[in-house]
Chains A and B, each alone.
Chain A
């Protein structure tokens, strides 16, 4: 007797979301199956990985993570071009971390200028991120959204405290929007409802349930992502059918395992290898729990995750 695997049928479907402009537009999402269950349905688009760059030099990153970008990271335009031309990036995520009041406290005008310059130097899609300071982000992302008008970027992140202004900016300038909540499935659904109630098209939202790093709460993010996907697919919950973002690099490169030197913990082996593996492992876990869009930092980790996707898809 031959083995017949049992198959689930799902009633719901994840919305496909496009980013960027033709002919360099990229689409992710659109699947009607759990991640990589291609034997049960269709998954027409690859997960998208965006290379993270910043508006200010990344002096807070571990040295070996700064190294691949050492010739370009003092200028976001060169950095973006390097990712597109040398690394073959599929998309850029420009994090305006320098606007944070505790960092360089750059003005919204400065941020808008950076956005304009970066966009005029690349053709691939661009994700524009604030500094996760809810008040400052309101002002920064309005200016950034205007500077990027009609480039079909993804703007983020809208949170409970500032979603109205950021969503309005995304709407007025034809961008997609990241809706972020803090590891709470019910608030994640609530934020999506609030956004759609103010007239924001639910098919232009990307859900960020808040990421974490392997060993530092990954299982919480994993469960929330998984539950969102199950609501979307098995309960056909239209408020939970957005693609999910995993903002991987932001969390991974702060943890002890990506920082502690070989002298301090010789039993942990090569720091560089360890850090790259940590980012790749974290990202892979999120792909398996339902993320369709990743933001990552180390080129080698991105390459490794790309290979995993090739094998699973």
Chain B
């Protein structure tokens, strides 16, 4: 299970302030802490970043990779900022991941960037027409994204399909639909397609003490269906990831497995 550390997001006040002041120290501290907790990639979410997005993304990518030997998940709707980030990304520790393309024509150029810069890319299974109704619709959109990726020259093994997790508090019936979609996505290709979710969205809007409980239990079910990656807080999910890996036989059991 690949954990993509979600804590470097412009939504967090401390991160936002550091981005505005171009103060590297807090950014690097958070990146380091996520790496030590088991993150295999760091998400750099700079928001829409309409002004100065290119500089900001480059500053984030180089700043993070100065302290952690990990690839970066470039998270913004600003295409120029993504491209700027890709140009400075150090591929020594793995290729960058673009977050994201979808079935919305405005997001198609992201595929072109992935092909040109040999990056991986998340395919969010939503279109211009709004949210998908069920697992079948998600799979149909996934198939369209895959066909388009091949046109642009992006190999299918470089795509992470994202079924779009919705809030349990407002869209309870979508939790099971997302789990089913993760299963269906894999069947769209052989070898199976890779899958990713933004995990904490499930508990968005819920009382704070409930959030880790919802996140971790949802994750266990998703892992059982073969989920490849999560965008999450590695500190919060590490015990679940390790435990499910042991139960599924992906890691050899030892009494101290949680400490590894």
Which A residues form the contact surface with B (CB < 8 A)?
Answer: 185-187, 189-190, 193-194, 197, 227, 231, 235, 237-240
Contacts and interface: CB of A to CB of B under 8 A. Distances in A.
B255 A190 contact: yes
B260 A239 contact: yes
B259 A189 contact: no
A258 B109 CA distance: 74
B260 A235 contact: no
Interface stretch (B190-198, B235-243, B245-253): B245-253
A231 B260 CA distance: 14
Interface of B: 250-256, 259-260
B227 to A, nearest CB: 18
Contacts of A190: 254-256
A197 B256 contact: yes
A235 B250 contact: yes
Q: DSSP majority for the A interface?
A: helix
B251 A237 contact: yes
A190 B252 CA distance: 10
Contact of B254 (A193, A235, A238): A193
Contacts of B260: 193, 238-239
14 contacts: A185-B252, A186-B252, A186-B255, A189-B252, A190-B254, A193-B256, A193-B260, A194-B256, A197-B256, A227-B252, A231-B252, A235-B251, A237-B251, A240-B252
Contacts, number: 30
A21 B60 CA distance: 47
A116 B82 CA distance: 65
A227 B251 CA distance: 11
Nearest to A190: B254
Given A190-B254, A193-B260, 12 more contacts: A189-B254, A193-B256, A193-B259, A194-B256, A197-B256, A197-B259, A231-B252, A235-B250, A235-B251, A235-B252, A238-B260, A239-B254
Q: DSSP majority for the B interface?
A: loop
Contacts of A186: 252-255
Nearest to A193: B256
A237 B250 CA distance: 10
Contacts of B259: 193, 197
A186 B250 CA distance: 14
A190 B255 CA distance: 6
A187 to B, nearest CB: 8
Nearest to B249: A235
Nearest to A230: B252
B37 to A, nearest CB: 17
Contacts of A239: 254, 260
Contacts of B255: 186, 190
Contacts of B253: 186, 189
A231 B253 CA distance: 11
**What are the nearest 9 A-B pairs in CB distance?**
A189-B254, A190-B254, A193-B256, A231-B252, A190-B255, A186-B253, A186-B254, A189-B252, A193-B254
A186 B251 CA distance: 11
A187 B254 CA distance: 6
Contacts of A235: 250-252
A190 B259 CA distance: 11
A185 B255 CA distance: 12
B256 to A, nearest CB: 4
A182 B49 CA distance: 59
Nearest to A189: B254
A239 B252 CA distance: 10
B225 to A, nearest CB: 20
A29 B260 CA distance: 23
Nearest to A228: B252
A226 to B, nearest CB: 12
A104 to B, nearest CB: 37
B3 to A, nearest CB: 16
Contacts of A194: 256
Contacts of B254: 186-187, 189-190, 193, 239
A237 B256 contact: no
A306 B55 CA distance: 62
Contacts of B252: 185-186, 189, 227, 231, 235, 237, 240
B177 to A, nearest CB: 32
A44 B256 CA distance: 32
A212 to B, nearest CB: 21
